[in-house]
Amino acid sequence: MKVCIPTMGNSGMDGAVSQHFGRAQTFTLVDLDTREVQVLQNVSEHMGGIGLPTDALKDKGIGVMIVGGLGPKAVQNFAEQCVEVFVGATGTVKDAIEDWRGGLLVKASSDNACKEHKHTS
């Protein structure tokens, strides 16, 4: 299974979790079966590029998205792609995966999605 965590840089498993999905500098993809780690730049419209970040990740084989927070549109887009999303991640990529595996994160919904875009990281 492949998980994705929005991050602030290219540090792989030691990368800091970005607290808002769309404003993340990078997305760290971790294949839990092979332990392969891939870091992708966020080139979406939120970062001066084109398209939505959910579209950029669409064909990457992600089964689970682990985030600090994200907006309701992203929650809906991932649901349409059959990607499970969990909110409340903090710390590093490694910490976020451990918290998700430990059942400490909450499944994303329209009720716990960010309603404002005032996050700084």
Burial of residue 17 (number of CB atoms within 10 Å: 0-12, 13-18, 19+): buried
- Predicted confidence at residue 79, as pLDDT, reads 92
**CA–CA distances in Å: residue 116 to residues 27, 47, 104:** 21, 17, 24
pLDDT of 101 > 80? The answer is yes
pLDDT digits (tens, 9 = 90+) for 29-88: 999 999 999 999 998 776 667 778 888 898 999 999 999 999 888 899 999 999 999 999
CATH number of the 2-107 domain: 3.30.420.130
- Predicted confidence at residue 46, as pLDDT, reads 66
Other Cβ atoms closer than 10 A to 49: 12
Angle CA 31–32–34, to nearest 5: 65
Q: Identify which of 21, 116, 26, 29 has the alpha carbon closest to the alpha carbon of residue 77.
A: 21
Band (pLDDT 50/70/90 cuts) for residue 110 is low
User: 0.85 cut: is pTM over it?
Assistant: yes
Q: How distant is the alpha carbon of residue 35 from its chain centre?
A: 17
Q: Identify which of 19, 20, 14 has the alpha carbon closest to the alpha carbon of residue 74.
A: 20
